Amino acid sequence: MKSIKGPAIFLAQFADDKAPFNNLKNICEYMADLGYKGVQIPSWDNRMIDLQKAAESKTYADEIAGTVEETGMVITELSTHLQGQLVAVHPAYNELFDGFAPANLKGDLKGKTEWATQQLKYAAKASSNLGLSAHATFSGALMWHTVYPWPQRPAGLVDTGFAELANRWTPILDEFDKYGIDVCYELHPGEDLHDGITFEMFLDKVNHHKRANILYDPSHFVLQCLDYLQFIDFYHERIKMFHVKDAEFNPTGKQGVYGGFQGWVERAGRFRSLGDGQVDFGGIFSKLSQYNFDGWAVLEWECAIKHPEQGAAEGAPFIDAHLIRVTEKAFDDFAGTGADESFNKKILGI
C-alpha cells in the first residue's frame, strides 16, 4: 500500500492584500510555520502566480517553485476553479459570474467561455512546467437550473446537456493528456458534475477519458446526504486529489438540504473547520490508504463560524494526526509457519 502525503493547504481562502497573505513568499512562510508541507495555488490570483507566464516561461515556473521550496514546502497542484466554472455557464448566470473573468468580458458569455478554455490550456502547460501530475477545477454547469425541475425536464435534455459539456471539455482533457496531467473535478453543488451519477454520465460522453478524474471533497457529500465512504469504494480509481474539509448537516422541522435561502450560519447544512463538523475522517483516510491513494491531503478551509487563521493553525496537526503510515507486513506474520506447494497440498488433503 501507499501513504497519503500531507499536510497541505489550499491558499484561495487565505490570499489577501494584507501581509502575510499578500504574496506567495509571505503566505508560504506563514503556512510552513504552522506545519504545512505543501500548497495548492489558485491560478486566478495574480498575487500568487501569473498563470499564462507560468505556461509560457519555464524559467518563471522554476522561480515560482523555488519560492515555495525556499520555505520548506512544495506545490501540490494548481487550481482553476473559477476558470473551470466559466467553461460552461447557463445564460441565467451570466452576470453573476462576471467577476470570475477579466473586466473587458463583462456580460460576454461566449467571450468568457473562450477565455476560460484558454486558461485551462495554460494550466495544463504550467502544471507540466512545475512538475505537477494533477490539476483542480470545476466543470461548470449548463443544467443546474433544472436540478430539481418544475415543470419536468423535456425528454433528452440531460443527454444533450452532457453531450455539450463533453464537447467543451474534451479538447481541454486532450491538452492535459499531452502533458500527462490529470484533470480533477471537484464534485460540487452548482456544477453539472456534483455526485457520482453525474460524473458517470460525463465520463460516458468523454469516452471514459483517462484524464477525467475526481477531486474528492467529503464536505459536499455531507450536504447532499450522500454516502461519502462508499463513494470511495465506487470511484477510488478516479480519485486523484483530496480536499480535507469538514461539514455538518442538521435538518430541522423548518429546513433541510436546500437551506431556506438562509446565510451560511443559519443553514441546516454548513461547512466547518476540521474537527468541528460531522465528517468521519478516520474512515476516509483508512479507505483512501486501503486503495493506495498517494496524493496530497489538502486542507480547504471554509467555516461559517471560526476565524480562518485559527482554522489553518488547527488544520495542520489535525491532518497530520490522520495520516496513516501504511504497514509493510501483516499483523499476524509472527504466527506464520512458512510453506511450499507440497505442504499446502498436504494441508488440503490432496
Ranges assigned E (strand) in the chain? 5-10, 38-42, 74-80, 134-137, 182-186, 212-216, 239-244, 246-249, 269-272, 296-299
Instruction: Tell me which amino acid residue 213 is.
Output: N
Q: Which helix (H) or strand (E) holds 158?
A: helix 157-178
User: For position 260, what pLDDT does the model report?
Assistant: 97
Instruction: Tell me which amino acid residue 194 is.
Output: H
Domain hosting 190: range is 5-348
Asked if 118 and 66 touch (Cβ cutoff 8 Å), the reply is: no
Residue 181 to residue 85: CA distance in whole angstroms:
19
The pLDDT profile of the chain, 350 residues, written as one tens digit per residue, is 789 999 999 999 999 999 999 999 999 999 999 999 999 999 999 999 999 999 999 999 999 999 999 999 999 999 999 999 999 999 999 999 999 999 999 999 999 999 999 999 999 999 999 999 999 999 999 999 999 999 999 999 999 999 999 999 999 999 999 999 999 999 999 999 999 999 999 999 999 999 999 999 999 999 999 999 999 999 999 999 999 999 999 999 999 999 999 999 999 999 999 999 999 999 999 999 999 999 999 999 999 999 999 999 999 999 999 999 887 777 666 667 777 888 888 889 99
For residue 152 the three cell numbers come to 419536468
Residue 263 to residue 304: CA distance in whole angstroms:
9
pTM, two decimals, is 0.95
**Which CATH number covers residue 264?**
3.20.20.150
Residue 5 to residue 325: CA distance in whole angstroms:
10
Indicate the number of domains in the chain: 1
User: For position 331, what pLDDT does the model report?
Assistant: 67
Task: Measure CA 69 to chain center.
Answer: 22
User: For position 326, what pLDDT does the model report?
Assistant: 85
